[in-house]
Amino acid sequence: MGKADAGAADFKLVGFKNFVRVNPRSDRFRVIRFHHVEFWCTDATNAARRFSWGLGMPLVAKSDLSTGNPVHASYLCRSGDLCFLFTAPYSPCISASEPASAASIPTFSHHACRDFAAIHGLGVRAIAVEVEDAEVAFAASISHGAKPMSPPVFLDGRAVVAEVHLYGDVVLRYVSYKTTNLDPSLPDLWFLPGFEPMDVSSAYPADYGIRRLDHAVGNVHELGPAVSYVKQFTGFHEFAEFTSEDVGTSESGLNSVVLANNEETVLLPMNEPVFGTKRKSQIQTYLEHNEGPGVQHLALMSDDIFRTLREMRRRSSVGGFEFMPSPPPTYYRNLKDRAGDVLSHEQIKECEELGILVDRDDQGTLLQIFTKPIGDRPTIFIEIIQRVGCMMKDDQGEEYQKGGCGGFGKGNFSELFKSIEEYEKTLEARRTVESAQA
């Protein structure tokens, strides 16, 4: 058994304080980056347009009846490197007479897609990563315990797609290219064969500054087996973890582990519920409403969170996404002490106006905000983030930001709790003064 095998076999949650971050560079195959996220739904047109408008992700490509695909309707929204794909099934009677190759997503299944939408509502079916070679990635994963979902499929000799089980009804999709011609004007080259460009010249809305997927988080019943499984077949290492006790309040109701690839650009956190707290764990609520494990949130990185938030908030009540309630003013009074050396007075004011939370770790600073659940059920939501600091230079002298810079917002649990308590005290003081005056 190799070094990575030994590490993978003995996963144990140790908590934030005892966790020592090391990067053993133990990936079992070369992972390049997050490639896309596919949502399964019952009507892709409406879902894609809502996300496009709410997040500022122009609709750039399609594969549907109009492109000769009678199997599924798929629409692709893109902002920077972030690609969201929305897929819904057409009538199986219509596609039954067509060759299987008519579907541009070769792993699409009518039956599975219909079941998925009925059981989970709107949700993420696939987290896709670009790998050097999807065949190699699939073979390495299977030989290290991954449950196969789809063997490698060659698409027009240009791309390869394969899938393994991740958690719940979510798959980890491997995508690789056989060509170096990834012409940005041709989605059948830079995305997948069968996709045709949509008219982006008249596309509305414009981009609001979102650039890429930072992390994709899953909720599972039990962390131990889920983390061991993914660690074992990917070779990913533990990048961070925290338990309910670490966050300074037992109210969080969750334990969490973050897995990362060698370059720490593909971050896959997982949460499990914690029981016995006053309030029911939000993870348990998710598991019940989602009818099992699934993707809890997608953290989207903006290159200007203030601009992104201004644009998103403008659309909150007109078809966009609503945000969780902003913290009380006491949170921002304390923020001057916590982050006054990184954020200017104006930036702190802007955080308060937009309801942005701030946290930091030993390396950098994280600005974050969460939407309310994005569909009917209290399940999946979106996080918008910007990371500040941790700039490094690669071998070619190119500047890049270290993955996970500033953490994932662990400190905000206790900070929010504290500021709410302080705020409630100010309200009590006000009531006392008012009743004395009456």
Q: What is the DSSP annotation of 118-175?
A: HHHSSEEEEEEEEES-HHHHHHHHHHTTPPEEEEEEEETTTEEEEEEEEETTEEEEEE
Work out whether strand 294-302 and strand 381-389 pair parallel, antiparallel, or are unpaired: parallel
Output 27 or 383, the one with its CB closest to Fe ion: 383
Amino acid letter for position 121: G
Binding region for Fe ion (CB under 5 A) out of 12-20, 175-183, 299-307, 321-329 = 299-307
State how far the Cα of 71 lies from the Cα of 109, in Å rounded to an integer.
9
b/e string for 382-401 if b means 16 or more Cβ within 10 A? Answer: bbbbbbbebeeeeeeeeeeb
38 interacts with Fe ion by CB under 5 A: no
Is 383 annotated to bind a ligand? Reply is yes
Q: Binding segment for Fe ion among 103-111, 135-143, 304-312, 379-387 (CB under 5 A)?
A: 379-387
**Residue (276 or 325) nearer to Fe ion, CB:** 325
297 is in an annotated binding site: yes
Question: Please, which residue, 4 or 216, has the CB nearer to Fe ion?
Answer: 216
Residue 383 vs 415, nearer CB to Fe ion: 383
Of 299 and 356, the one with the shorter C-beta distance to Fe ion is: 299
Closer residue to Fe ion, CB minimum distance, 198 or 259: 259
Give the binding-site size for Fe ion (rule: CB under 5 A): 2
Instruction: CB nearer to Fe ion: give 122 or 299.
Output: 299
Q: Shortest approach of Fe ion to residue 363 CB, angstroms? A: 17
Residue 44 burial (CB count, 10 A): 23
- If you search the block for the tokens 């819904």, which residue do you land on? 88
Q: How far apart are CA 30 and CA 14, in angstroms?
A: 28
Verify binding: residue 241, Fe ion, rule CB under 5 A. Answer: no
Contact range with Fe ion by CB under 5 A, out of 189-197, 245-253, 288-296, 298-306: 298-306
Report in angstroms how near the CB of residue 321 gets to Fe ion at its nearest: 15
Cβ proximity to Fe ion: between 48 and 257 the closer is 257
Return the closest-CA partner of residue 251 out of 384, 427, 378, 418. Answer: 418
Burial profile 263-288: b = 16 or more Cβ within 10 angstroms, e = fewer: bbbbbbbbbbbbeeeeeebbbbbbbe
299 binds Fe ion (CB under 5 A): yes
d(CA 250, CA 274): 9
Tell me how far apart the alpha carbons of residues 199 and 66 are, in angstroms, rounded to a whole number: 14
Q: Provide the H-helix boundaries in 40-129.
A: 44-55, 92-96, 110-120
Query: Closest Cα partner for 40 from 82, 85, 83, 103?
Result: 85
Q: Is 215 annotated as a binding residue?
A: yes
Tell how strand 123-131 and strand 82-89 pair up.
unpaired
Q: Which residue is nearest to Fe ion (CB)?
A: 299
Binding status of residue 383 toward Fe ion by CB under 5 A: yes
* Among 65-73, 249-257, 296-304, 396-404, the segment contacting Fe ion (CB under 5 A): 296-304
For residue 88, the minimal CB distance to Fe ion (Å) is: 27
Minimum Å distance from CB 296 to Fe ion? 9
* Of 223, 143, 129, residue with least CA distance to 176: 129
Q: Does 357 bind Fe ion (CB under 5 A)?
A: no
Q: Which of residues 243-282 bind Fe ion (CB under 5 A)?
A: none
Q: How far is the CB of 80 from Fe ion (least distance, A)?
A: 18
Which range touches Fe ion (CB under 5 A), out of 1-9, 56-64, 339-347, 382-390? 382-390
Q: Which residues bind Fe ion (CB under 5 A)?
A: 299, 383
Binding residues: 215, 297, 383
Binding residues for Fe cation: 215, 297, 383
